[in-house]
């Protein structure tokens, strides 16, 4: 049975001087780089894609979306990584979508 995790916005907190020096995107729209999310509903960039568990064949729980960081650490074209989990079987699925 798929469980839904309530939504948490994830705000990045730099942990080192090197991380503090990371510059934001120069040209991307301003929400890009701030779309990190734990739980809730995925904000798909392309078509909706909801994986099913390879063990139990149930729809997986959306766990997180991880945004691109900046021009240096950019996932595809300002894309995000989507992570799904089956909390019964401990199976994980992830993929990238981008503009
Ligand atoms: Zn499963």
Q: For residue 99, name the pLDDT band (cuts at 50, 70, 90).
A: confident
Q: Is residue 70 part of a domain?
A: yes
Cβ neighbours around 96 below 10 Å, total: 14
Domain boundaries, position 92: 1-8+31-99
Look at residue 84 and tell me if it is in a domain.
yes
In a domain, 89, yes or no: yes
How far does the centroid of ligand 1 lie from the alpha carbon of residue 24, in Å? 38
Asked whether residue 17 is assigned to any structural domain, the reply reads: no
Q: Is residue 51 part of a domain?
A: yes
Residue 2 has pLDDT above 80, yes or no: no
Answer yes or no: are the C-beta atoms of 92 and 42 closer than 8 Å.
no
Residue 89 CA to ligand 1 centre (angstroms): 4
Cα–Cα dist 45/79, whole Å: 8
Whether 49 contacts 81, CB under 8 Å: no
pLDDT single digits (tens) 37-67: 999 999 999 999 999 999 999 999 999 999 9
Domain count of the fold of the chain = 1
């Amino acid at each position: 049975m798929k469980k839904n995790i309530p939504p948490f916005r994830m705000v990045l907190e730099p942990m080192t001087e090197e991380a503090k020096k990371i510059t934001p995107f120069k040209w991307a729209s301003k929400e890009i780089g701030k779309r990190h999310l734990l739980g809730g509903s995925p904000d798909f960039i392309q078509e909706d894609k909801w994986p099913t568990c390879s063990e139990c064949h149930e729809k997986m729980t959306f766990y997180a979306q991880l945004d691109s960081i900046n021009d240096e650490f950019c996932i595809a074209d300002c894309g995000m990584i989507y992570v799904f989990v089956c909390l019964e079987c401990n199976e994980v699925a992830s993929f990238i979508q981008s503009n």
